[in-house]
Structure 1
Amino acid sequence: MNQVIETILRHRSVRKFTEQPLSSEQIELIVKSAQAASTSSYIQAYSIIGITDLKKKQALAEVAGNQAYVAENGHFFIFCADLHRHQKIGEWEGSDVLPSIESTEKFMVALIDTALAAQNAVLAAESMGLGICYIGGIRNDLEKVASFLKTPKHVIPLFGIAVGYPAKETSQKPRLPLNHVYHENEYEQDESAFKAGIDQYNQSVQDYYNKRTNGKRSDTWSSQMGTMLEKKSRMYMKEFIEKKGLNLR
């Protein structure tokens, strides 16, 4: 165990922040930490947009389902998959890059690069004693978000991260059992063992909710997933991505 691992294992989502803003030095360190993440073939296919305009933060909070902490935090970052600069490089270098950057493979590279950078940013923030919350809700209406941010073709806003000083301590949700996530040499084929892992986890989640709500809530993880995944959400995404010039050939 060391300080880095302790920071990782202490992670929890924070949804209530004080009014204290992040300093410019903190913001710069968080972004530099994001940039230090691994990147496929040195492509660096992401951009980070910091939102300081309160009206924009409030508009983004509304898009994200009226989540107050999108507007009320120390700083709000939006992480974007970004192949726009590569398209411009193709023009400047006289290279035909469009078939490549509009491929499914490069889209996946951009998604992975962005996620790796974001997690580095989160670890940097948490190591400073700050709290964070990922905000996937900006994808509720990417047309609006793209217009707020003026993102060009080949740029897809993926998620936001609210960062700030926690206003109160939050509990940590239990994760899936390690032996259900980590498979050795091949994927677990024994369905009874597979289900036993889910059953074990369901009990942990029930215990967590019971304790957190004094018995008012006791649903399981699998019941949550069954209900959530039964509903179609953000089904416009393929159309939006194609409109942004990523035809996923």
Structure 2
Amino acid sequence: MAAWLTSDMPSDTLVGLDLGQSLPFVDRGAFFPGWERSPPDARALWRLVDALCARDPHLAACSFVDHADAAEHFRRHGGRKGRWFEGRGRLRATEQAQRLQGLNPYSNLNLVGAAQVGKSSLTGMRVLHRIGAELPIWPIDPAPRSGSCVVEIYTSIAAIAAGRTKGRTKIRDGAALDSALAALGSEPFGHDGPIDDHRSDALLTAAWLRAHARRAELWNPPTLTPDIARTEGWTFGVT
């Protein structure tokens, strides 16, 4: 994927990645309190994850999760909970804002359960580390005046904008997907019968990005500060 994004992707593309750009920082002034190697910002976090996982195939992040110091901050399978992991896990500022919008975010430090995004976020950081020198990644980088840009997405935002209720954001039927696409001003996908929600999420969120990419307020959330941007990033569409 990294090679396609930097070499083969059409120009002027807004890329939405369904993962966390970073981990919680601002609540405690550090990603990993008590660890002397705790990075100062998101890009340094990506470098650290990639360096500790250099031998993990397919851009996996197993070595980072199992690192003695990092593991103290994660909830892992088998009932393993680091001493720094409390409750449902720390949240980034953007995830706190998601809650205020009625969404149900999970901590990126939680690596257990079907709804968690912690694992994909850590592996995604290895991708971000590879593409970050060639593609702006908002809001860690400023939004460019032209050219392509990468943003973090939350697929439920697109589904709700298309008329789905908060408890029914996953679409598993072709006709329902076409109705949601029509609500966003897009042509039907034309699939008859069942469809997996990974495909429907991708299609619907792409349609939503196309419809809303030029809304200035989405690029300027009122609670997004420069310090939050450089350490935690943000989810596009969260205001």
Q: Normalized against structure 2, the TM-score is what?
A: 0.26
Choose between structure 1 and 2: higher strand proportion: 1
